[in-house]
Amino acid sequence: MDVRANDGKPSQYLSFFIDGEEYAIGILQVKEIIRWGAITKVPTTPRWIRGVLNLRGLVVPVVDLAAKFGIRETPVTAQTCVVIVETDLDGEKTLMGVVADAVSQVLDFRAEDVGEPPPFGTRIRVDYIVGMGRAGQKFVHILDIDGVLSADELMSVAEAARDGEAAGPEAARKEIA
């Protein structure tokens, strides 16, 4: 995804904070923002999977980007929220929740406002960043949310959860028999 190839038209991004740093996701991938609420933990998942939430009957995995980036687990405050994004997992559109310390604003970036990510100095893997958006005197990390929520890592987590669900009831039936 090349954020600089937008024919001179501004592209919109939702910005949010993780541990004092501002990040952004393309607004077209953002479906909604919800307050932190009841998250159900899922056994045997990595630390960066906070669990799942019930979004009008849909089971939506919730990813803590701060933990995934190796910063720290996001502490829950009054401003903590979950940004529901639509990501592409192996060609299939999937809803995922992303934990943010706080949502900031919608930003408009023109091609000339977006530079290459630096090859060093960021707190996260450079391949997770598609560009650095210039917002006044500061820069905002523009995330490749499909890359951050990569199919390989998430599919292994989903398989572990499915295996756990499948083993649970069957194991219980075997113990009863």
Query: pLDDT (tens digit, 9 = 90+) per residue, 32-71?
Result: 999 998 899 999 888 899 999 999 999 999 999 999 988 8
| 2 is a domain residue | no
Number of independent structural domains in the chain: 1
CATH number at residue 120: 2.40.50.180
**Mean pLDDT score of the chain:** 82
pTM for this entry: 0.78
Measure CA of the first residue to CA of the last residue in the chain; give whole Å.
54
* Cα angle 122, 143, 70; round to 5: 50
Range of the domain at 26: 11-176
- Dihedral angle at the C-alpha atoms of 65, 69, 73, 74, nearest 10 degrees? -40
- Predicted confidence at residue 129, as pLDDT, reads 86
CB atoms within 10 A of CB 146: 17
CA distance 25 to 128: 11
| 1 is a domain residue | no
| 21 is a domain residue | yes
Share of the chain above pLDDT 90, in %: 50
Q: What share of the chain is helix, strand, coil (3-state, %, to 5)?
A: 25, 45, 35
CA distance 128 to 119: 12
Place of tokens 């917002």: 135
